[in-house]
């Protein structure tokens, strides 16, 4: 009997020891499974070990934009709205691009910008936000009452009767696109900003393959030149009527260097609505977005753009924006208000 009691006691002790061992193992397993989560919470850097993949641009939203803002903050920028590629982010990217050598300035986070970011983040040299482009402050207004744009470099900049360019703004990257012109002189209206010029060359090359006679007529136009043109139109037609087809100085897209008026021999190289009925005009309307251009003042949208229909006026906004604008049959104003 005594032997049996000893055996029962030993069994109970062994059972209790096994239970304790299992509890210890479970506790250890739980600790190990929770450890990565604890580390993730502590670092706050999960998913942001690398810069996001480009492109990203104004109006984009989501985790990729949050990641981009994270790395911009490492350079000293700050944002009040996380996850939205808004004017603040556009300014920060523009400011960064201006401060780099041999980098096109657009306000768009592209592959070349990503590469420069990697170089700057790995460098030990100091970086100062706002050295390239002053941070936006309280808006300034022109004599005509329009808000003066603080970031004229923005590829999606909205220039119209409500928003005007600074009088002293001249794009830094103006070049002559290798396309036909109906004149030979080397004059300012031959020029465009580099990205727009490259895209225009592609558009013209493909139009030529289709047997079309497309010519570039008028690109960049300075503030002073626009002032002279508008004054002449106002003197002849009255200021109110002139402003339906001619922009006041600062309010012309031509000053951005992102616009080009195109024409053809069929309309004697003029800029007139009949161009829209030519083979060239029809092809441009159908295909401009493939090259990053939009018909800036489309027919039926005069109440929004405040300008008459201009089938000849191309504005470069980049492929993504152009495709959305043309597919949805909207204006740049409507696109930026979305």
**CB-based contacts of 62, cutoff 8 Å, min separation 6:** 83
For strands 174-175 and 163-164, give the pairing: unpaired
Task: Round to whole Å and give the CA distance between 320 and 241.
Answer: 34
Q: What is the DSSP letter of 109?
A: B
Strand residues in 26-158 grouped as ranges (E): 140-141, 147-148
How buried is 174 (Cβ within 10 angstroms: 0-12 exposed, 13-18 middle, 19+ buried)? middle
d(CA 28, CA 225) in angstroms, rounded, equals 77
pLDDT of residue 20: 52
Looking at residue 32, what is its pLDDT? 45
261: Cβ contacts below 8 Å, ≥ 6 apart: 216, 217, 218, 219, 271, 310, 312, 313, 314
pTM, entire model: 0.85
- Give the pLDDT of residue 17: 52
Q: Which two tokens stand for residue 39?
A: 């580390």
Per-residue pLDDT of the chain (338 residues; tens, 9 = 90+): 444 444 444 454 444 555 454 444 444 444 444 434 333 333 334 558 899 999 999 999 999 999 999 999 999 999 999 999 999 999 999 999 999 999 999 999 999 999 999 999 999 889 999 999 999 888 999 988 999 999 999 999 999 999 999 999 999 999 999 999 999 999 999 999 999 999 999 999 999 999 999 999 999 999 999 999 999 999 999 988 888 888 999 999 999 999 999 999 999 999 999 999 999 999 999 999 999 999 999 999 999 999 999 999 999 999 999 999 999 999 999 999 97
- Distant-in-sequence, close-in-space partners of 218: CB < 8 Å, separation ≥ 6: 189, 254, 260, 261, 271
Report the pLDDT value the prediction gives residue 239, as an integer from 0 to 100: 87
Alpha helices in 172-237 (DSSP H): 194-209, 223-237
pLDDT tens string 260-319: 999 999 999 999 999 999 999 999 999 999 999 999 999 999 999 999 999 999 999 999
Beta bridge partners of 192: 175
Convert the pLDDT of each residue in 308-337 to its tens digit. Answer: 999 999 999 999 999 999 999 999 999 999
Domains and CATH numbers, the chain: 63-122 (1.10.101), 144-337 (3.30.1380.10)
């Amino acid at each position: 009997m005594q032997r049996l009691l000893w055996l029962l006691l030993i069994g109970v002790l062994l059972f209790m020891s096994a239970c304790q061992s299992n509890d210890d193992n479970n506790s250890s397993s739980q600790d190990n499974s929770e450890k990565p989560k604890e580390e993730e919470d502590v670092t706050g850097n999960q998913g942001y070990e690398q810069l996001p993949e480009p492109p990203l641009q104004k109006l984009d939203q989501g985790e990729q934009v949050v990641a981009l803002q994270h790395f911009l903050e490492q350079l000293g920028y700050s944002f009040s709205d996380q996850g939205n590629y808004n004017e603040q982010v556009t300014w920060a990217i523009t400011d960064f691009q201006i401060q780099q050598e041999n980098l096109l300035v657009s306000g768009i986070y592209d592959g070349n910008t990503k590469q420069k970011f990697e170089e700057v983040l790995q460098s030990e040299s100091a970086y100062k936000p706002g050295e390239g482009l002053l941070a936006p402050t309280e808006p300034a207004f022109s004599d005509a009452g329009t808000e003066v744009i603080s970031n004229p470099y923005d590829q999606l900049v909205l220039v119209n009767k409500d928003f005007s360019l600074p009088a002293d703004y001249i794009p830094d990257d103006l070049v002559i696109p290798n396309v036909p012109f109906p004149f030979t002189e080397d004059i300012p209206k031959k020029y465009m900003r580099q990205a727009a010029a490259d895209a225009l060359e592609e558009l013209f090359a493909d139009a030529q393959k289709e047997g079309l006679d497309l010519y570039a007529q008028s690109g960049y136009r300075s503030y002073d030149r626009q002032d002279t043109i508008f004054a002449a139109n106002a003197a002849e037609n009255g200021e109110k009527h002139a402003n339906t087809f001619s922009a006041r100085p600062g309010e012309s897209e031509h000053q951005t260097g992102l616009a080009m008026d195109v024409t053809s021999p069929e309309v004697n190289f003029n800029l007139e609505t009949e161009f829209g009925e030519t083979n060239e005009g029809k092809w441009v309307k159908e295909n401009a977005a493939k090259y990053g251009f939009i018909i800036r003042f489309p027919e039926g949208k005069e109440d929004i753009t405040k300008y008459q229909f201009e089938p000849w006026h191309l504005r470069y906004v980049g492929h993504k924006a152009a495709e959305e604008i043309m597919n949805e049959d909207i204006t740049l104003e409507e696109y930026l208000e979305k």
